[in-house]
Each structure stands twice: as structure tokens, then as C-alpha cells.
Structure 1
Amino acid sequence: MDLTLVSHTHWDREWYRTFQGFRARLVDTVDRILELIAEDPEFRFLLDGQTIVLEDYLEIRPHRREELAEACRAGKIAIGPWYVQPDSLLPHGETHIRNLLEGRRVGVEFGGVSRVAYTPDSFGHPAQFPQIFAGFGLGPFVYWRGNGNEIDTLPAEYRWVAPDGTSVLAHHLAEGYFGACGLPEDTLSAAAFLQDLALRLRQRTTGGYVLLMNGLDHAAPDPHVGRKLEALRRATGWKVQRGLLDDFVANLSPDAPTFQGELAGARLANLLPGVWSSRMPIKYRNREVETALLDWAEPFAVLGQVYCGLDERPALRQAWRALLENQAHDTLGGCSRDLVHQQSLARYDQAEELAQQTTERLLQRLTGVPLVRRTPWSDTLEIAVFNPSPFWRTDAVRLSLEAEPWLEFRGEYERAVQVHPFLGAAENVAGFLVDGKPACLLDEPSREGIRMAPDLPPKAVEFLAEDVPPFGWKKMRLTPAAIQPDKVDEGRAISVDGITAVVGSDGTLDLELPGFAYAGLLAVEDVGDRGDTYDFDPVEGELPAPRRVSVERRRHANGVQSLRSRRRFQIPAGLAEDRASRLVETVDLEIDYLARLVPGTGRLDLELRVVDPGKDHRLRLLFPTGKPVESFLSASTLDILTRQTAMPKSDDWVHPAPRTFCQQGMVAAGGLWVSAPGLPEAEVSPDGVVALTLLRSVEWLARTDLKTRPDPAGPMLRTPAAQCLEPFEVRLHLASCGSELPAIRPPTAMRAVVAGGEPLMPADKPMLELPEGAELGAWKPAASGFGWVLRLLNPAARPIAGSLRLGLPFSEVREVGLDEEPLSEPLEIEAGAVAVSIRPHGLLTLHFDSCS
């Protein structure tokens, strides 16, 4: 037998302690690692597959930078490939790619990152991981959690195949990443323990190579592991070595059985699927910030590079790094102490504000606003509407009534402070026209804008923008005009472009879509939950009936129609003392929604506001399709998966198979497309009901008395903020999906800014047009050089072949990996178009050299 023992520590940067609490221990740990390297020439250490811990350490020990870097370059310490050890299922797939790019960038200074895709403790893994890892030249994939029944017939080493056919070798840590930790001090006892462990692991290997993982969460290195391993060698005659994962995987044969599919089972290890719904506002916030970067800041940084000569990569990198810190599985999973999540919100704010301000500056520069931004001193303005989608758009757009600066000293002789007329126009005029068509004047009470009086909220103008080009802009003119108020009544039906929505007496929604009709959408399910942040543990109850429903209908001359439904329910206040039933005492649950139909969009938009003072329960929205469902579609990491409503046999799993699943913002079943970016937990029942989790409220980080999870998961720590008692606002979208594959996600809202006088980017020109069926993954400045990277994905089971057309100049294009390293010679360019083909479920990444 051939054994490799890897000394390591699994480092959750924050969890049941805060980042600073754990960093104090990290400093001690790395200090000790460096001491052992100096004392023992054979000592090696795996620093948990993430490079951010190097930065964390060196901020406190800057004088040891060269010593640490030399240890890494000499192969004494293995680092990366991740920047942050992430949750695998919750982040956007592009966030994983940015994570690996940043991990590699940080690791270069230290001699480079490990090629092993080490992900020891994440709660399941997406089916596209093999394609992502292969795009960085990584492998094997070494992991612990996620296998279902397939593991009963697979050896420890197998080939994991992505939906497109790309595969990587995988090594399953059958006894976890901690199997050889906590060895007895007595050398012979330690050798006997390791011998028994190795014999158990040998039963699942095919080539006789066994991996022993000597480490645990936040564990300091064992200084005596060398003599313990030597005792094992003398006792058995086996070949043994202290090494790193790279040493172990070098021995593995690439020929192995195959498995295709996501790893979201719990045959041998807890899956902990409750992390898909714990602290749901955190997850929604995460998707908002990802969208600000992926849909706005990155693509328009490309356009700013070409047309304005601006390099915004430092700003993008700072925003991404703040966001990546929040991708750690205990942070994004919502299973840390309250203070950890409170501190993570500041990182989201930092990342989003940087993304938004970078975007705002770019949009203004592209339309000709000078470096010193000044809004023309007028209440009649040219405005620019930008479309962050790779297709032509018609949609409602809002322009916040703001000005830069908002006041000035003006007057020829007697100078006085004057408020910008644009800002005051909303209070002084009756309404507005945009391109001669009526616009709607709206209050924005939640926006932190300048007010003309304490009781007058900031204002916005909403109008219909038609035929805005892909990633381009359209100039429109805003002028004061006579008021065009909404028609407001108590009607319960709206209809636009063949879509009709009707609010029922119970506040649910009936919806008629082309070719489909649904009744009772947005019903509310409330079930008690005696679980914790890791797992749902139901206390059954009845579906609550609303005790009060009100409806208001609005119809505007711009064509937008809406229904506002206000529902009030009474639900149990929490769990009874025995935690086996719910309290008789009740509280009022408020669920309001605004259903909107906008001409030219083909969908129903929903804005929900939830005020939920109830504790220890799960709140879901139900979308009955009215027909049985055996299979359905859901968005997954950089793909669309076909799922089954039938459940796998899981009687012998350590954790029962959940009916819920993790999705990336879209579920399509029974002809109904439900888009819910930022609400990752869903379920589809065999009778065709789509259930979307809004909130799951719990009091504990972990408990040991759950019925749904026999094994422990974490420390028993109170987390009252995980009850999620603050108001929560989300956006959903509904549409029909027939035989065509549905969109992975809805188009991001268009944006309007005040235009300048001399645009740098031409108006009314499409900047990007994709081949039919392709989805845009990313459009971003290249990591190096003066060019940009464009990534397409094909979520269908058939190949795509067509033309990719860009409206901006470029000199050369070639295919690259996800790591942005070249894979091909330059491709042929014809009249600004490139012929591309994308294999089924495949990713295609192209690098364009700019002409600028």
C-alpha cells in the first residue's frame, strides 16, 4: 500500500467566531507552521486551498512576507486555487470564476497555486464544476460532501463528467477531511490508528494509493506526525510519505469509472440543505451585488475602455474582492453567529456602492458628460436610456430626479443659492413627458435622495422606453407637462399584450398567459420549524387563510398597469416550550405584492414586501400549475438542469434526501416560468405545485435534537437575528414557457441618466448581438492587456452555431480558457462578426484585442 499523509487545517474565516476572532488563531497557526518548516525538512502543509488567508496573516505579520513566500515557492506550503473557500451551490457561476481568477492572481507572488480543486466542506456541488475546473486546468477535485446513492458503486477515484462532457478526476474523502486528525500522542497507538484507517480507505481505492488527511477546522499542525508515520512504516512495511495533495494525485490513474450530475446527496455525510434558506435576505443581497457587477459594471467598463480610454479594472477588482469575502460557505450559507452576518452586510454595501458608482460614471462619460459632472441648468433635459442585455428591449424605466450639483450660487450681480430646477420640478410642475409621451411621477420614499421638505420624498419619473439596443443607449427628451395621473380604482384585473392577471378574494393571483392559465398563484404556506441554520425540521400546521385583503388597481397612459394586493394573516408567534408544537398566541403576518404588466415585455413583474414577526417557521409562496409534473427545469450554475419530482431512495443516508433543491433564479414547470433571483430554495411537487421559500426563521446556529438530521452540524449557539424579523422586499417574474427552453433569468432593469452634449459612444447602435439560443455569461475587461473577454453559455441539449456580432472595434479574437489563457489561433472576423459554435451545455470564452 502507498500512503500519503497531508497535514492541513480547514480555515473557516468566520463562523461561530468573527473574522477577527479566528484571525488571531490563524496568526498563531501560521507562525507555528513556519517554525515547523524551519525545524523539520520533511514538513509540508496544506493551507486549505484558499489564498486569502495569506493576506489575512500578512496584514498582522508583514515582516514574515518573504519567509512565507519562500515556503510556498519551495513546495513546503500549498495554497489556492481558490481566493476564498466558497459555498459551491449558492454563488453565481461567474462568481466562482472570479474567485479562481483572484486566487491565481494572489498566488502568483507566492510561486503559484495548487492545481488540485480542493473543496473539502461545501454543502454539495454543481454539475458544471468539472467544466469550470477544467477551464482553469485544475484537477483532481478533492471533496467530502454531496454524494448520493451513486457512491455505493463508485470507487474513491472516479471521473466526474459535466453536462457538456468535460470531465475531471475526482477523489472522495470517504472519512472526511479530518480522518487522520487528533492522533494519539503515543507513537504506537497513533500508528495502530492510522493502520486501521488506511485499511478502511484501501477498500474504496482502485490503485492502492491512500490519502490520509491530518487536520481539522482551525487546527494547529501536529508537530510529531513524522515519527508517528515512521512508526506506521516500520509496523507495516508500507510506503508512506508526508506530502501535499499534489503529491498524492500525481499517482492516480486518469482511467476511472464515470459519474455525471450534481453532487447534492447525503449518503455518507450531512448535506445541510437548510443553508439554502437560512438568512434569506443575505442571499438576496448577494445576488443584487453580483448583478450590479456582472450586468452593469463589467460590460460598461469594456465600453468605457473602448470609447473613453478608461481602465476601471482596479475598481472592479476591489468590488469583487469585497464580494468574494462573503462567498465563504458559512457566511453565504447563513450558518454563522449573528455578528458575522452583520459585518458581511458592510462588505455587500462596499461592493455594490463601488459597482454602482463606477457604472454611473461610465454611463455619463459615454453619453458625453464631462469629467466634472454637471447636470444642465434646466428642467427640460436630454436623457440616455441604457440596456444591460444582449437583445433589443422595450420596458419601463425610472429616472430619479437628481442633479449634480443640486444647488449653486447663481445671479449676475446679487448672487443667491438656487436649487437645481430639475430637482424642484417634481414639486412645481404637474407632470412630465418623455419624447412627447406621458410619464408617471413617482415617490421614492426609500431612496436616500435630496428632499425639498421633510415630508416630501424624493421623486422619480417612470416612462416606457422602446427598442433600446443591446448594451447600447437611446436618447430621449424629458419635458415638464400637464399631469397624466394614474387611473386608480378597486378593480381586480389588468390586461396587457395578451396577459391577464386577476386578484382573487383571498389575495391569490389568477394568471392567463399565451396558451396557459393558472389559478391561486402566490398562495402562502406557513410551517413551523424546530430546526437550525443548517436544516429545516418541520412542525406541521395548516395553510393560513388571510383575514383581510385589499386591492388597488392603477393604469397609466404610458400603458403600464398594476394591481396592489395587501394581505394580512394570523400565524403562531413561535414554537411552544416543548418545541414539538406551535404557540396558540398569534402575530400578524403582512404580505403585500405589486403585480405589473408593462407593454412589450411578455411577462408579469412582482414586487413583494413581507413583514413577518413570527418566529421558528418557514414561509413559502406557492404557484400551482394545475397539472401533474414528473420533470421540470431549473437554473443551475451556468446551465439549466432537468430535475425529477420523484425522490431518490434515501433510507440508508446519514441525512434524509430533501424535497427542496438549490436553484440559480429560475424554475419552469407545467408551462409556468417562475423567476426568483436571490431566492435559491425551491421545490416542485408531483402534483405540480412550485414552492418558493421566502423566509426561514430559526433561533439557533445548530442544535442536536433535530428529527431531520441525526448527526451534529455545528456548535449550539443562539442566533436571534436568524429569525429574520426585519421587513423583506423581493422581486419575482412570471411568464409562460412552452416547448422553447426558458431564459435562465429575467433581464436586468434598464437605467436612465442625464445625457451630455457630445457623446463618446454612438446612440441607437447595438453593441453586442448573440447567436440564437446562447446566453451571456460575462462581458468583462481582460485580466491583462488592453482587451476584453466575452463568455457565452449554451443551456440546451443541442449545439449552437451562429454569428456573434459586436458594434465596437476590435482587431483580433481567439478562444481562451476560463483562466483567459489562449486555446486557439485567431478566429476569422467578417464585418464585425465572428462565427461561433457552442457544444450542448458548453461554455465558450473569447478574448478580443481592442483597436484602441
Structure 2
Amino acid sequence: MPSSQPKAVIHVISHTHWDREWYMPYEAHHAKLIQTMDELLAIMDRDPEYRSFYLDGQTIVLDDYLQVYPEKREKLVQLVQEGRLSAGPWYILQDEFLTSSEANVRNLQIGHRDSRAFGPVSKLGYFPDSFGNMGQAAQLMQQAGITTAVFGRGVKATGFNNSVSESPDLESPYSEMNWDSPDGSRVLGILFANWYNNGMEIPEEPAAAKAFWDHAIASASRYASTRHLLLMNGCDHQPAQANLSAALRTARELYPDYEFIHSNWDDYVKAVHSDLPPELSTIKGELRGQRTDGWFSLVNTASARIYIKQLNQQNQTMLEKIAEPLAAFAHAQGRPYPHGLLNYAWRTLMQNHPHDSICGCSVDEVYHEMRTRFEKSKGVAASVIADSTAFLGGQIDTTGFAAISRDSAPFAVFSTSGYEDSGVVTVELELGRRYFKPGEAQAETAAIVGRDTTADGYLVDADGKRVPFVSSDLGVRFGYDLPADKFRQPYFARVVSVTFEAAAIPAMGYGSFAWIPSAGEEAGPAAASLVTAPNTLENDFLRVSIQTDGTLTMLDKTNGQTFDGLGYYENVGDVGNEYIFKQPNGDTAITTRGLAADIRLVEDAPHRAVYEVTHTLDIPESADERLQAEIATMVPFLERQAQRSSKRVPLSIVTRVSLSRSERGVRAHASFDNQAKDHRLRVMLPSGVSVAKHYADSIFEVAERATVPNPEWVNPSNCQHQSAFVDVHEAGRGLTVGNKGLNEYEVLRDDSGTIAVTILRSTGELGDWGVFPTPDAQCLGRNEAEWILLPHGGADDRFRAYQAAYGFQVPLQAVQTGLHAGPLAPRQSLLNWNGAGSRLALSSLKVNEDRGDLVARWYNLSGEPSELRVDAGRDAALYESNVLEEDNGARIGEAGSATVPVAGYKIVSIGLRADK
């Protein structure tokens, strides 16, 4: 009798996982892409049974093809509209943890915008090869109208290429599961339990096909919760299978009890949703492979080529935290918003964000090109910042300074971190500017400026109150204007460099100051030195003593807590690769603990004091000769016997420890000339807090993580990702360590709750599937690192420290302006907001491309409900939006202000429309 059960359905989805650059540089991969796409289009033309091909969830594949063949755009549009090619939802397949919260959002936004130009947007949360998945993915997907996510890593016991272990203790018995974000948002999660190549190169010949399908069907059936089985027909840079239709005809003949479909993601996902069992396992938050042995989570890509991460952090900060909000403020005052420039800058930056690029796990040539992209994007951001601050400066009423002196040189200082900010600012002010024309006696013009100006003077704020400062005369210098309505205008001017502490600059606002030229004027009002004893720095909040071995003893004067032994360095060997750190068997750490340091006071100014601490370590120059032999013969890193060399080289680390008058944290900047290979350098920061959990800044959340890993974890190292900071705290005591582009940390399983931050990892091979030497990844030469120590009182007090850590990454911006009237007050906030208990973080402020509305985004740092109060400072309509910045039509508040409840861990976007 025929079975009453419906047939199992084999969904074969053709695709290629397209790493834009990896084991070859970009243009080599690019040429391969052109060949792959050409052949794919030819297959689709000649084979009507070849129904669809998935372009890896990223629209940049289309861009890269059209860069060579722009005349084929109409063909691609036709195929997308017919459903035979996919478009989006991402612009690129990013590494989620090494790109900022806003970069993840812009990736979705640009991917959606580009997709709409071709046809329907692929509404699939596609994370095929992310090295771990962010905890807020489900919330981001839901806000973008995406209900299903597929991913390759982070769940179950996975090994190389996601091979599944036999352990019964799995996080889900099925490849399908509920995936929840911390706020409760949910999507259906589908794991590539047999990787995304389990249907590649399907045989057409019956005997080979029988062997293939017997294995493939059994493997897919093992984890599927429905009768719909997924076979991914492709792999990394895999060309389309030209004989697929014939291979599927063979399969249908061999297996009449199965239905074989050349499918697509839309049809497969719809079928799975309709056939799910009533109960699925639920996974929550981050997927980082914590139920594995710990060797293949690939977290150590966070420390490969740290210089790339630092450039990325600078670039992201310039775009999202400085250029965009300043351009938005200028737009609100009537200046056109530079959508095109910012879009170009974001795209250029995100071309560095694919996982094999930003992770530092590619060949050296990739990073030569990445440096150029960073410089291009940063150059655009710098131009937008300069234009926006110049425009805003021209809108500020500075006439009050004229009462002090008609020769006043006013300037404005902008804070765009989202919080009231105090910081040390250096501004170069031009005095006595004198223009000249071609052919004039330029030397005489310069001499006149030198004779008619003075570098002496003093500094005042908008109230006319004198401000302590340090200045230096940079002499008469050439400069030029580029007016919008005439030819360039060269000039000479005297330049005075003024450094001071700009205190309490309003959040998302500015303050005004002026340099008052005055011959013979004393430096400024006296201020007590921040050096209160030998090798000791102190302000109203902290006292920091530098011990003879260079470690810091820090007293938090607000609660009486003392932190000892902060800031020693640890050096160990590394015989792993760009993906994975592996300390040599039996290797002993070399540290600076107890090693006498050279300590010198190098700055004692009214606004800041700085000590320079120099350590010199004697370390092995490299691994021994066995490592190169093991690399050349592809000995797995876990089996390597290489040790560190007996030959030594010096490693001199110069650390500048600084404390400013108003800051609640101690800053550190380390620089060193690395001449050793195959090693790792970390700064060690004992928190004095021994707890089971700690907290790290991640994508739209402060993630709570276990300090002690699960029992399955056998890797001695438990390094993890961070964005702006890591925090360890208990009742009444806590330490937050902020950073700039130092994305790898570990909280040690010791009695001191030591936070170890990686500041250098040197390795000489890519790793993975072949032999790819990467000498540049040894990071020889000058390296540097920056961090800040922020003690706090634990619990709720930690959110103040988190805000300071965010602010640490965002420098204040200063611009000189003239003496003039203007519609803006000398000091004000351009966007007033507050969140109850300071639990909210401002993520971005920009202008939406489609409607021209201002859009601001916040997120709740905690699981406790909060409340957001927004006051735009003008009569405007406010509405709740989403990460795609859509207007849902529902207005909130009135007259440009509103109070919005924000649930725990919620991401909230607010639009502001001037026309109401």
C-alpha cells in the first residue's frame, strides 16, 4: 500500500560563498568572480530548469560584477525580478563583533537600498560563516522585517568546518531552533549543521550519485525537524554546477520516495515554517561556540593584525560619532546634508568589513589595499567634519568676545559622543591672516604678519572667565581658503597652538572660547598641580601612584576602593595562526612584574599631568626553526612541537600614563618597536573582583559572559570579543577598561579578576586550508595601544563608567570662527536627551536619505526598563522608527519633544520631521 506520509523534500539551493578577498588579493578574487558570474548567466540562459542562484546575501557581488560589465545591469535586474538571482539583504558579509553596532545597521540599510534597485529584497538573515554571532541579531532582523536567520557557527559542538560531534548534550537536537535576543525578539534560527557545502558537486552518474545521496540524505535527516531537507549546492568561491539539472534528474530516478527541488531560500523557509514541530529549543543571545572545545571559535581573529582594528575603530568613530551628527546639526541650520559623500565613505569603509578582511586572516596583499580604503573613507569623513564645523561655527553668536578684544580669536568645541564631556583639546588658531595674490612679494607678506601679531595672550570661555592653558608659537605659516564662489585664496598667518581642558561641554552640543592676544600676558590663572607626590597623579576623583615596576595603584576617592598592580605586561609565544592563538607546549610567560621601570614626569600642566614609564623585556626573537617546517608541511597547530627560540631581542615598551583635571579615568598609551615574531603581548589589569560573570561591550548590548567556560571547553585560553570596554564588578566595587581598537580580552580565572587585553599578536601564517605565509602579520616595527581605567562603585554606578568608555573613543572637535552675530547661542546642546538612571546609550544621529528626516538611535544597556526623554529644541513631529529608518506613521509627543519607554535591551530609533 502507498504510504500516507508526504514525501520528504530535498531543497537544493545553489550558491557561492564569496569572500571578496582572502587567500588571494581582491583583484584576483574579482577576476574569478567575473568568470563565475559569466558562466552562471550562461547556464541560466541555456537551462530553464536551473531555477535560482543565491548571491551569498550581499549586494556587493552585483556591484563588483557591474564594475566590469555595466552593460549587463538590465540582465541582472531581470533575473532578480524573476527570482532567479537574489539581492541582499546585506551590502557585505561582515564580521559582526569586529564592526560597530552602527556599521552592522548601515550594512543592512545599504544592502536593502541597493537590492531595491534590482528587485525584491532577500529577507533572510544570512550569517553563513560569521566567527560567532551577535546577541542582538534577532532584534535587528525583526526590526528589518526578517523572521528567519541562517548561520554556520556558534551552536552545538562544532569543529573544523562545523563538523558535528556525537555529544548528546547539544543546545538543540535540530538544525531549526528559536533564536532570541536579550529583549525577547525572536527569529527562527537554522544552523548549517552539515555546513554550507553539503550539496556541492552533486554527481550525475548513477553509481556516484547513489553514494553521494545516501550520505547526504542521512546527514541532513539527522538534524532536520521537518521533512524539508536542506542541501547547499556550493562552497567558497564555488562556480555554479553546470550539470545540476541532469544530476537532479538522476536523483529523482534513484529515489522516487523523495521530492527533489532546485529550490531557493524563500521557498525553503516558507516550507520549513509551515512544517515545524510544536516545540523547538530556544537559544538566547550571543552564539560564540561556548559549548565546544574552544579551539575553533576563531575568536583570536580579534587580535590578528591589531593595527587594522585600530584603523577601523578610528574610521567608524569619525563617520558615525562625529561626521554624521555634525552634518545633521548643520543640516538643521540649513546646510544640505552630504548624503552622497557619507554613503561613499560608508561603502568604502565596509569594503574592509568582510569577515576574512577585518578579522586579519587573509594574505598580506589584502591589508595593503585595506589601508588605502581606510585612508579614503577617513579623508571623506574629515572633509565632512571640517565643512560642518566651519558652517556651525559661522552660526554661533560670538559677539560677546568683542567686548574683551576686537582682536579676539573665537573658536567652538563640539561634543558628539552623546554625553556631557570634558576633555583636553589642542587647537591651532590663526592670527593676523593676510592674503596675497600671485606675483606679490610673499616673503614681505609673511614678515608683515610676523611684525603685526603676537603669540602672547590668554584664553576665556563664553562667560569671559579665564581658562588655564598651555600655548606655543608655531610661527608664521602659509595657508589657503577654497571659496565656493572664486579661485583659491592663499595667505600667511601667525599660528598659536593652545592646549586646555574644555570642561562640561554639553551632550551633542558645543561650547565657545576665545584666544585674546595680549603682548606680555602671563600664561593664565594658576592651577594646583595634578602631581601631588613623587610618581603620583591626583584629581578630585582619583589618586594614582606608579610603583617601581611601573604598575599602578589607583584609589577611587568617591568610594575608597583601591586597585593594585594595574598595568603589567605579559609576553608568551604563539605557534598558531591568524585565526587561532596557540601557546607553545610548556611555555612560561615573561612579565614586567617586579622588573624595575624607568619613570619620568613628562608633562605637568594645569589641565593634565603625564608620566612616561619605560619597560625593557628580553624576549625570544621568534619560534624555533621547527615552526616553519611544521607550517610548510601543514602540521595541525594542535600537534605542533615548536618552541620559542633561544636567541633574544629587546622589547622596549613606553607607556604614557595621564590624568586630566576633570576625568574620572586614568589614560594609558603604550608604544613599542616590535622586533620579535611568533608571540603575544597583553596588558594585565587586576580588578580585585573575583566573580563568575563579567560584562563586555558588544553590538547594541553590554553582554553578560561567563568568566569560567563550560565543561566542554578545553582550550587553556578563554579570549573573547569586546568593542568599547570590558567590565568586572561586584557590590560596591568595579573596574571598566575602555579601549581604542583593542578587540580581544580575557578575564583570567584567578583570585584577582585580572582583565588581560591583547595589544599585539604576531603570527606568520594565514592557517585554514593551505600554506599561506603572512610575514606582515608579525606586525614588526612600531605599534601602539590606548586604554583607559575607569573604577566605579559596581551595580548601577557602572553605567557612568560605560558612558565614559564610549566617550573615550570620541575626541572633541574644535574649529576657529570669526567675531559675528548668529542664531546659535555661545553654548548649547543641539539635541537634548536623557535616559533614566543613565542606562541608555546614544548610538547615532544622522539624516535619513529617503525623507530627509533626522533619525537618532538609542539602546538600553541593561535588562531593566528605562525611559527616554527627547527634546529636539524646535517644533517638529517625532515618530518611532526602526533600524531601516522607516516611518511607521505613528507620531509621539508634541512640539518636538517626547517621552518614550524603553524596555530592557531594546533598540529605539526616533525620527524627527520638521513639517509635522
Q: CA deviation at 1:600?
A: 2.3
Residue 522 of structure 2 is matched in structure 1 by: 482
Q: Does 1:752 align with 2:822?
A: no
CA contact (8 A) 1:623 1:690 kept: yes
Q: CA deviation at 1:431?
A: 6.7
Question: Matches of 1:66 and 1:592 in 2, distance apart?
Answer: 58
Q: CA deviation at 1:545?
A: 3.3
Q: SS at 2:62's partner residue?
A: helix
Deviation track 1:737-791 (CA, whole Å, cap 9, x = no partner) reads 3221431633122121102334454332222222232110111111311211111
State the one-letter code of the partner of 1:812. Answer: A
Residue 499 of structure 1 is matched in structure 2 by: 542
Q: 745-754 or 392-401, which moves further after superposition?
A: 392-401
Residue 41 of structure 2 is matched in structure 1 by: 34
CA contact (8 A) 1:406 1:423 kept: no
Q: CA deviation at 1:148?
A: 4.2
Question: Matches of 2:827 and 2:366 in 1, distance apart?
Answer: 46
Q: CA deviation at 1:185?
A: 4.8
Question: Matches of 2:200 and 2:118 in 1, distance apart?
Answer: 27
Q: Does 1:264 align with 2:282?
A: no
Question: Matches of 1:605 and 1:820 in 2, distance apart?
Answer: 37
- Residue 658 and residue 108 in structure 1: after superposition, are their counterparts in 2 closer, same or farther (change >3 A)? farther
Deviation track 1:678-709 (CA, whole Å, cap 9, x = no partner) reads 1110000132110000010001111xxxxxxx
Q: 361-370 or 199-208, which moves further after superposition?
A: 361-370
State which of 340, 345, 348 in structure 1 corresponds to 2:371.
Answer: 345
CA contact (8 A) 2:204 2:248 kept: no
Residue 568 of structure 1 is matched in structure 2 by: 616
State the one-letter code of the partner of 2:568. Answer: A
Residue 164 of structure 2 is matched in structure 1 by: none
Residue 769 of structure 2 is matched in structure 1 by: 714
Match runs of 1:474-623 below 5 Å? 474-480=511-517, 481-483=521-523, 491-513=534-556, 514-515=558-559, 516-539=561-584, 540-545=587-592, 549-553=597-601, 556=604, 558-579=606-627, 580-623=642-685
Q: 107-116 or 390-399, which moves further after superposition?
A: 390-399
Residue 764 of structure 2 is matched in structure 1 by: 699
State which of 19, 36, 40 in structure 2 corresponds to 1:12.
Answer: 19
Match runs of 1:113-262 below 5 Å? 113-148=121-156, 151-237=170-256, 238-253=258-273, 256-262=280-286
Question: Matches of 1:408 and 1:331 in 2, distance apart?
Answer: 47
Q: 149-158 or 841-850, which moves further after superposition?
A: 149-158
CA contact (8 A) 1:191 1:228 kept: no
Residue 739 of structure 1 is matched in structure 2 by: 795
Q: Does 1:833 align with 2:897?
A: yes
Q: CA deviation at 1:729?
A: 2.5
Q: CA deviation at 1:630?
A: 1.6
**Count of residue correspondences:** 822
CA contact (8 A) 2:296 2:580 kept: no
State the one-letter code of the partner of 1:161. Answer: D
Q: SS at 2:271's partner residue?
A: coil
Question: Matches of 2:53 and 2:115 in 1, distance apart?
Answer: 16
State the one-letter code of the partner of 1:529. Answer: D
Residue 625 of structure 1 is matched in structure 2 by: 687
- Residue 810 and residue 9 in structure 1: after superposition, are their counterparts in 2 closer, same or farther (change >3 A)? farther
Residue 825 of structure 2 is matched in structure 1 by: 762
Q: CA deviation at 1:526?
A: 0.2
Question: Matches of 2:424 and 2:496 in 1, distance apart?
Answer: 16
Deviation track 1:272-311 (CA, whole Å, cap 9, x = no partner) reads 2221110011011101111001111111111111103312
Question: Matches of 2:11 and 2:451 in 1, distance apart?
Answer: 73
Question: Matches of 2:413 and 2:270 in 1, distance apart?
Answer: 55
CA contact (8 A) 2:204 2:246 kept: no
CA contact (8 A) 1:552 1:565 kept: yes
Q: CA deviation at 1:391?
A: 2.9
State the one-letter code of the partner of 1:680. Answer: N
Match runs of 1:48-59 below 5 Å? 48-59=56-67
State which of 886, 890, 895 in structure 2 corresponds to 1:821.
Answer: 886
Question: Matches of 2:915 and 2:600 in 1, distance apart?
Answer: 54
Match runs of 1:351-430 below 5 Å? 351-368=377-394, 380-401=408-429, 408-409=435-436, 417-419=444-446, 429=455
Q: CA deviation at 1:543?
A: 2.4
Q: Does 1:663 align with 2:711?
A: no
Q: CA RMSD in A?
A: 3.0
Match runs of 1:742-821 below 5 Å? 742=799, 743=802, 745-747=805-807, 748-756=810-818, 757-768=820-831, 769-772=833-836, 773-807=839-873, 809-821=874-886
Question: Matches of 1:99 and 1:421 in 2, distance apart?
Answer: 53
- Residue 608 and residue 206 in structure 1: after superposition, are their counterparts in 2 closer, same or farther (change >3 A)? same
Q: CA deviation at 1:720?
A: 0.5
Q: 209-218 or 414-423, which moves further after superposition?
A: 414-423
Q: SS at 1:24's partner residue?
A: helix
Deviation track 1:373-392 (CA, whole Å, cap 9, x = no partner) reads xxx99974111111113333
Q: CA deviation at 1:64?
A: 1.2
Question: Matches of 1:148 and 1:442 in 2, distance apart?
Answer: 61
Residue 846 of structure 1 is matched in structure 2 by: 910
TM-score under structure 1 length normalisation: 0.91
CA contact (8 A) 1:552 1:564 kept: yes
State the one-letter code of the partner of 1:729. Answer: E
State the one-letter code of the partner of 1:280. Answer: I
- Residue 735 and residue 192 in structure 1: after superposition, are their counterparts in 2 closer, same or farther (change >3 A)? same
Residue 357 of structure 2 is matched in structure 1 by: 331
Residue 707 of structure 1 is matched in structure 2 by: none
- Residue 612 and residue 548 in structure 1: after superposition, are their counterparts in 2 closer, same or farther (change >3 A)? farther
Question: Matches of 1:127 and 1:552 in 2, distance apart?
Answer: 45
CA contact (8 A) 2:592 2:615 kept: no
- Residue 121 and residue 597 in structure 1: after superposition, are their counterparts in 2 closer, same or farther (change >3 A)? same
Deviation track 1:55-74 (CA, whole Å, cap 9, x = no partner) reads 11111112211111111111
Structure 2, unaligned runs of 5 or more: 1-7, 158-168, 397-401, 481-493, 628-641
Q: 751-760 or 714-723, which moves further after superposition?
A: 751-760
Q: Does 1:2 align with 2:9?
A: yes
CA contact (8 A) 1:379 1:425 kept: no
Question: Matches of 2:204 and 2:446 in 1, distance apart?
Answer: 76
Deviation track 1:221-260 (CA, whole Å, cap 9, x = no partner) reads 1111112112222222211100211111011236533110
Q: 763-772 or 94-103, which moves further after superposition?
A: 763-772
- Residue 423 and residue 151 in structure 1: after superposition, are their counterparts in 2 closer, same or farther (change >3 A)? farther
- Residue 178 and residue 460 in structure 1: after superposition, are their counterparts in 2 closer, same or farther (change >3 A)? farther
- Residue 207 and residue 417 in structure 1: after superposition, are their counterparts in 2 closer, same or farther (change >3 A)? farther
TM-score under structure 2 length normalisation: 0.85
Question: Matches of 1:36 and 1:799 in 2, distance apart?
Answer: 55
Question: Matches of 1:400 and 1:278 in 2, distance apart?
Answer: 36
CA contact (8 A) 2:530 2:608 kept: no
Q: 663-672 or 428-437, which moves further after superposition?
A: 428-437
Deviation track 1:529-587 (CA, whole Å, cap 9, x = no partner) reads 00110110102223233866222225645342222212222211111112322122222
Question: Matches of 1:462 and 1:205 in 2, distance apart?
Answer: 64
Question: Matches of 1:606 and 1:545 in 2, distance apart?
Answer: 16
Question: Matches of 1:849 and 1:419 in 2, distance apart?
Answer: 50
CA contact (8 A) 2:393 2:411 kept: no
State the one-letter code of the partner of 2:541. Answer: G
Question: Matches of 1:781 and 1:591 in 2, distance apart?
Answer: 44
